[in-house]
Structure 1
Amino acid sequence: KTRDAADQLANTNSSQLLALERLRDKLGARTIAVVGGNGQILLESGGDTRQLTPDRPSAAMLRQARGGAVSSQLEGLEDEAAALQGGAQIRALALLPNTALRLGLDERYLMVIQRVPGSVLSNALAVQTANNEYQQRSLERGGLRRMYLGTLTLVLILAVFGALLLAVTLGNQLARPLLMLADGMRLVAQGDLSVRPALATRDELGGLTRSFADMTGQLADARAQVSRTVVELDAARTHLQTILDNLTAGVLVFDVEGHLETVNPGATRILRLPLSAYIGRPLADVNGLAEFAASLSRRFEQTLGAEGDMDREPWQEAFELQLRPKQDPLTLLVRGAPLPYGARLVVFDDISEVVSAQRSAAWSEVARRLAHEIKNPLTPIQLSAERMQHKLEAKLEGADQAMLVRSVATIVNQVQAMKQLVNEFRDYARLPSAQLKPLDLNALIQEVLSLYAEAQEKCHLIADLAPGLPLIKGDASQLRQVIHNLVQNALDAVHERADGRVVVRSSLSRTEAGAPRSVRLYITDNGPGFAEKVLKRAFEPYVTTKTKGTGLGLAVVKKIADEHGARIALRNQHPTPDAGSPPDDGSELPVIGAQVSLSFSNLVPVTEPGAASAKT
């Protein structure tokens, strides 16, 4: 009613106060008034005569009415008896939607105050009491509902928990074999094959666990067999590697692609190259072995054929390998064989010394035959020439006589030279066996050096002999020839130098325990040294750099050293590189001399008879 009255009041064009009176009469209201935005009474119709103006509406009613709703409030209920006698009233407040009754920019509200009859109020209070009871019952019903729901929830939780507990118990009973299998598999995966879970039941799970236990036992037996096999393979591999490491022959193994797979120390020693650094690479990558690798590849292709027949016999062939330009080539006896899966095996030996020995034996036979065939006619030739000179010299005069004398002298001199050559041939071919007796090497050296007193006086020959050397077993005559030959060669090498010097030195080599091992003789000079191509073949007959030499001196020395069980070695001397300079193999350093060394390991024990007398 208040909203409708506000709309009617906004649409009327008559006097505002008159309009309010009409509305009050129409509504039967006690008071009707226009209220400003701040709650101030602007116009009023009716009202309590005891009050100049009616009470203002509360701020809460103004906020509610400002939002467009009708705000109402029941008043006078503090005294219920007075209210039932008509003392209660209802206050309603509505926003005027039109600006017709507005005096300014503020909004205006229509406030209607109407008395509430006692009967209506009594019914309203009864309704309110019933509503309160209903609300109380509603609250109690909500509590009961919540309690009932809580009880049901608790029962449900207990039921679910019991079901889960029962399910877990039954699941454990059913899953125990599977858990046993899972633990067993985990232990087997970790390498423990001793666990063998098994159930005594006759169901499928029991059979599964028993099968797993049998499988674990078989795996343990198989692993033990594999371990034994691995140990045997390691032992065999170690044994084979030990054999390869101690083989004097060189061993190379190539894979199917021709890459180097295995190298033993013998191959490195023979070829004097770091082959181990080329594992996994072709042999042709090694400096100086490209031609050798190509020759090996061709030889394998010829042997295996186009289809790589594995039944072919291993091949053997001699190769000459030139590692450095200034050195003699190595003579290698190479044997090759195919291996399974396309691999190839190459075994080679350095037979350079064997070839040299064969060449020396051949020269010995040639020397023996030449000495026999040439020596016989030399004496008749010399005698015939001398007889011719004796018969014809008196019959010739002048130039003819001089020519005869000169020609006969030439024949005799050449015959003498040929006799000397034949004698050297004979000595080389028929060197007598050494008569080994206790010998003081220092005394023998001093005896030979006494023949070179002039060289010693000029400081061209120096002796540096270690005192207290043990006696060696040797042939004095043959060793005298050896020392004389080596000293003479050294003096010949330095005769053109004013500062030429030859040092003859002896020393004693001992074992780690301090026992005598060998007596060594060194003859060192500061001459031009040996040519690189001569070093490897210096002990072969007719290998010499002298213009007048026969080339048999060092060959005889080598034969005598072999008779005495001594080792002989030749080398050039080079200056020691400065600190910090890169390492060098000596081939690029200048030669400052040569050295020949003899090592006598056949020593006379101190307790042997004759040792003391030989020293004295």
Structure 2
Amino acid sequence: MSVSVSDARIVPRAEEKQRHVSGWIGGSIVVLALVSALLTFLVLSGSTPVAPVHEVVIGVFVLNALLIIALLVIVIFEAAVVIRARKAGAAAAGLHVRIVGLFSFIAALPAILVAIIATVTIERGLEPWFSDRMRDAVFKSVEVADAYAASQCKSLGREIRILADDLTRAKPAFDADRRWFDSFLTARATSLGVPVAMVMQPPEKVIARANIDVLRNPPMPDKAAFEDAQAAPDPICVIPRNSRVFGTLMKLPTYEGSYLYTAREVDPLAVEFPAVARGAAVEYLAIDARRKGVQVAFASMYALIALILLLSAIWFGLSFANRLVAPIRRMIHATDQVSSGNFYVQVPIKRSEGDLAHLGETFNKMTAELRRQHDGLVTASGVIDRRRRFTETVLSGVSSGVLSLDSEGHITIINRSAEALLGTGGRLLGKPIVEIAPELASFVAEALHGRMRQSAGQVVISRGGQDRMVNVRATREGESLGAGLVVTLDDITDLVSAQRTAAWADVARRIAHEIKNPLTPIQLSAERIKRRFGKVIVEGKDVFDQCTDTIVRQVEDIRRMVDEFSSFARMPKPSLQREDIVETVRQVVFLWRVGNPETTIEEQLPHDAVQARFDRRLISQALTNVIKNATEAIEAVPAEEREGQARIDVRFERREDGRIVIDVTDTGKGLPQEQRQKLLEPYMTTREGGTGLGLAIVGKILEDHGGGIELLDRPDGARGARIRLWFPETGPVQEAESGAEGARNGSLGSDRDNNKNRTSL
């Protein structure tokens, strides 16, 4: 069953839902902010029906500020998620941070550059319009307009004074004859070149008027003009609104409540220009007064818009980075799962991810193939493991030593039997065979590099003071040179010893039979000669008696030797009984201590009884022979060469593996270092006058008990020897068995105890 990466809990579902909601909220705020920035630009540029008045500008600023705060909160939240993932060591967190940083840099750099350029451009663009030359030009235009208006007013003022003086003189005519007065007014106005001349009372009551058809309906002065004329001693200039007329108004003192109003039509631009110039100057001054404020306002608005764009770009960068990093993060987690051995991981595929989705499909195919191959390898490994365990079981169960060597002669496989036979401590795997067992070097070299695949022979391996006869067979694994080897080691020491023992037993039986038959007649004849002729012989009687006694004594010695031969040849089967082995050892030691007071014999025996199945008489005989050999070995050392007192230590041990071990350690001359095991063969002795049957009989007794004998040196390194006797507490496994296999395993028992840390099959 496949396991998806989302199931592997890369991103918890609650966190995914939270990111989905925050994405929608962030996107909505970004869209609103961008729309607000666009509307702000349109409003301030006057491209909308909404006038950019103070209240509108303030509202736009507040709206943009709120949206910027919301954007800032969203961006900070997303950035905090990224930073928290980076600190937590999330997959692809570094890539996530780099992408966000890149987008932020790309968005911030143009905004900063445009802000600098825009600020400089606005400053440079406004500077010419507010320079001293421009200021002078604006005010000069106002002065020109005022001068033109003043000249017109001055001309009309001069004319209105003349006309006013004339009318003052004509006041009686005004009172007497109005028609004449009108004609007079018309004549004087015409002569002065004034198209409009009338006597008025406010607001628009015309008392007298010059009948000139140039301006039929001239614009009338307003109420304010009459008030100004009332207060002014001189004529005032009147420029009615929305007209092409310049006029003057003057109070007529002689005409109660009346005013003289004259007007002349001029170019419309001459009328409009002063007002326009003056308005432009006022507006120019107002703009100049609030220029800094305008610059700050535009800069602030641009900063708000730029900040909106920047934060929006950062949010888009975060969103894009999330969409880009999410599949990469799933992929990294999936590869981590595969590297840890989980080949059932699957990456969720989202078609919206494009090429990354294709990458995920490829990864899923790869994991499926890896899973198939892994399952095949697991199956094959199981088969190989079962075969290996079977091979190990076979190798560990066989009595022969088995070694596998590579092409360079290094040990790759070794079973326990080979370890025990080679008798070296420590790990053997990987070590060269020539260092572990130099005796096998010739067989290994011949099998590795020779023409024949196999090399066989016999060799003596000496370990721990014991010589083992080994049958060696080295076989090359392949036909080509340089292939590995399989070396088998068969310990035939006990077999050879048994064969020799059997041969010597047969020889001893035959010799005993052939020698024992004439011994009795010889002895009887010697005794008869002594009795018959002992009284007759007078001369040389001492010599005669000595010769006959020698014959009898030698016959007894030969008979004793023949009896030993017979005992060795006809060694009885042990009669196993459950008895106290400790008491048996104690009695033997006591007898030898009493019979050899010059030798110190100490025993290390437990206080409690130890029950075992053994033949009391045979074990006592074996221990007696060993102690006897120890005393003879001590006596063989010259007195001047002895180190300390003559001492024999008998130590008893009951081991956890169920073996009874008896060690006899002496301070005698010791054992030879070479061919020590031959001392266990019949008729092999290093003592003058010895028969060579003592240790052979001991070995035979212990073999019949399922145990063995070991010839060792003293553990403290001093001169002397240690003879180890051992047999199972429960007796031999099969009482009728010859015991050869038990002797072989027994002789190797101490090696196994000393090599517990050895690596083997």
Query: TM (normalized to structure 1)?
Result: 0.54
For residues 418 and 493 of structure 1, what CA distance do their matches in structure 2 show?
24
- Offset, 1:467: 2.6
- Offset, 1:391: 5.1
Task: Give the counterpart of 1:338 among 476, 479, 482.
Answer: 476
Judged with a 3 Å threshold, the aligned counterparts in structure 2 of structure 1 residues 458 and 347 are, in CA distance, closer, same or farther, namely closer
Deviations 1:559-613 (A, max 9, x none): 22233344444433243xxxxxxxxxxxxx331454444456138xxxxxxxxxx
Q: Does 1:553 align with 2:703?
A: no
Task: Give the counterpart of 2:730 among 599, 602, 609.
Answer: 602
Judged with a 3 Å threshold, the aligned counterparts in structure 2 of structure 1 residues 303 and 505 are, in CA distance, closer, same or farther, namely same
The residue number in structure 2 matching 1:267 is 418
The residue number in structure 2 matching 1:293 is 441
Judged with a 3 Å threshold, the aligned counterparts in structure 2 of structure 1 residues 444 and 196 are, in CA distance, closer, same or farther, namely closer
Task: Give the counterpart of 2:719 among 579, 591, 595.
Answer: 591
For residues 340 and 690 of structure 2, what CA distance do their matches in structure 1 show?
81
Alignment of structure 1 residues 7-22 onto 2, 5 Å: none
Does the 8 Å CA contact 1:565/1:602 hold for their aligned counterparts? no
Judge which range, 542-551 or 220-229, deviates more. 220-229
Judged with a 3 Å threshold, the aligned counterparts in structure 2 of structure 1 residues 177 and 473 are, in CA distance, closer, same or farther, namely closer
Alignment of structure 1 residues 146-165 onto 2, 5 Å: none
Deviations 1:1-50 (A, max 9, x none): xxxxxxxxxxxxxxxxxxxxxxxxxxxxxxxxxxxxxxxxxxxxxxxxxx
- Offset, 1:547: 0.8
Does the 8 Å CA contact 2:671/2:720 hold for their aligned counterparts? no
Structure 2 unaligned residues grouped into runs of 5+: 1-322, 637-641, 732-761
Does the 8 Å CA contact 1:382/1:415 hold for their aligned counterparts? yes
- Offset, 1:426: 0.8
RMSD over aligned CA atoms reads 5.8
- Offset, 1:268: 3.7
Does the 8 Å CA contact 1:470/1:519 hold for their aligned counterparts? no
Judged with a 3 Å threshold, the aligned counterparts in structure 2 of structure 1 residues 468 and 229 are, in CA distance, closer, same or farther, namely same
Q: Does 1:347 align with 2:492?
A: no
For residues 452 and 213 of structure 1, what CA distance do their matches in structure 2 show?
86
For residues 594 and 182 of structure 1, what CA distance do their matches in structure 2 show?
69
- Offset, 1:249: 3.9
Deviations 1:183-237 (A, max 9, x none): 9999979977542677999xx9999997886665344222222234345545655
For residues 189 and 570 of structure 1, what CA distance do their matches in structure 2 show?
58
* Secondary structure of 1:335 counterpart: strand
The residue number in structure 2 matching 1:223 is 374
The residue type equivalent to 1:338 in the other structure is: R
For residues 343 and 230 of structure 1, what CA distance do their matches in structure 2 show?
22
- Offset, 1:343: 1.1
Structure 1 unaligned residues grouped into runs of 5+: 1-172, 306-313, 576-588, 604-616
The residue type equivalent to 2:446 in the other structure is: R
- Offset, 1:372: 1.7
- Offset, 1:284: 3.1
Does the 8 Å CA contact 1:462/1:504 hold for their aligned counterparts? yes
Does the 8 Å CA contact 1:541/1:551 hold for their aligned counterparts? yes
The residue number in structure 1 matching 2:433 is 283
For residues 363 and 439 of structure 2, what CA distance do their matches in structure 1 show?
62
Does the 8 Å CA contact 2:404/2:412 hold for their aligned counterparts? yes
The residue number in structure 1 matching 2:624 is 484
Judged with a 3 Å threshold, the aligned counterparts in structure 2 of structure 1 residues 537 and 407 are, in CA distance, closer, same or farther, namely same
Judged with a 3 Å threshold, the aligned counterparts in structure 2 of structure 1 residues 233 and 208 are, in CA distance, closer, same or farther, namely same
Task: Give the counterpart of 2:502 among 337, 361, 368.
Answer: 361
* Secondary structure of 1:545 counterpart: coil
Does the 8 Å CA contact 2:460/2:467 hold for their aligned counterparts? yes
* Secondary structure of 1:363 counterpart: helix
Judged with a 3 Å threshold, the aligned counterparts in structure 2 of structure 1 residues 551 and 443 are, in CA distance, closer, same or farther, namely same
- Offset, 1:430: 0.8
For residues 280 and 523 of structure 1, what CA distance do their matches in structure 2 show?
39
The residue type equivalent to 2:729 in the other structure is: S
Does the 8 Å CA contact 2:709/2:723 hold for their aligned counterparts? no
For residues 362 and 530 of structure 2, what CA distance do their matches in structure 1 show?
120
- Offset, 1:367: 1.5
For residues 441 and 230 of structure 1, what CA distance do their matches in structure 2 show?
53
Does the 8 Å CA contact 1:385/1:412 hold for their aligned counterparts? yes
Alignment of structure 1 residues 52-71 onto 2, 5 Å: none
- Offset, 1:304: 2.7
Does the 8 Å CA contact 1:435/1:474 hold for their aligned counterparts? yes
Deviations 1:377-405 (A, max 9, x none): 22122233444455555665535x55544
For residues 429 and 183 of structure 1, what CA distance do their matches in structure 2 show?
82
The residue number in structure 2 matching 1:562 is 703
Q: Does 1:250 align with 2:401?
A: yes
Query: TM (normalized to structure 2)?
Result: 0.45
For residues 497 and 405 of structure 2, what CA distance do their matches in structure 1 show?
31
Higher relative contact order (CA closer than 8 Å, sequence separation 6+): 2
Judged with a 3 Å threshold, the aligned counterparts in structure 2 of structure 1 residues 462 and 501 are, in CA distance, closer, same or farther, namely farther
Does the 8 Å CA contact 2:593/2:599 hold for their aligned counterparts? no
- Offset, 1:428: 0.9
The residue type equivalent to 2:434 in the other structure is: A
Judge which range, 258-267 or 503-512, deviates more. 503-512
* Secondary structure of 1:538 counterpart: helix
Judged with a 3 Å threshold, the aligned counterparts in structure 2 of structure 1 residues 323 and 595 are, in CA distance, closer, same or farther, namely closer
For residues 620 and 561 of structure 2, what CA distance do their matches in structure 1 show?
20
Aligned residues: 444
Judged with a 3 Å threshold, the aligned counterparts in structure 2 of structure 1 residues 528 and 396 are, in CA distance, closer, same or farther, namely same
Alignment of structure 1 residues 443-454 onto 2, 5 Å: 443-445=583-585, 447-448=587-588, 451-452=591-592, 454=594
The residue type equivalent to 1:351 in the other structure is: I
Judged with a 3 Å threshold, the aligned counterparts in structure 2 of structure 1 residues 574 and 371 are, in CA distance, closer, same or farther, namely same
Alignment of structure 1 residues 171-570 onto 2, 5 Å: 194-195=345-346, 216-230=367-381, 232-233=383-384, 236-237=387-388, 240=391, 249-273=400-424, 276=427, 282-286=432-436, 289-290=437-438, 292-299=440-447, 304=452, 316-321=456-461, 329-340=467-478, 342-390=483-531, 398-399=539-540, 403-445=543-585, 447-448=587-588, 451-452=591-592, 454-455=594-595, 460-462=600-602, 465-495=605-635, 500-503=645-648, 505=650, 507=652, 509=654, 511=656, 517=658, 520-533=661-674, 535-570=676-711
- Offset, 1:501: 4.2
* Secondary structure of 1:332 counterpart: strand
Judge which range, 492-501 or 479-488, deviates more. 492-501
Judged with a 3 Å threshold, the aligned counterparts in structure 2 of structure 1 residues 188 and 438 are, in CA distance, closer, same or farther, namely closer
Does the 8 Å CA contact 1:460/1:499 hold for their aligned counterparts? no
Higher helix content, 1 or 2: 2
- Offset, 1:181: 10
For residues 573 and 360 of structure 2, what CA distance do their matches in structure 1 show?
86
Does the 8 Å CA contact 2:702/2:725 hold for their aligned counterparts? no
* Secondary structure of 2:679 counterpart: coil
Percent identity over paired residues? 28
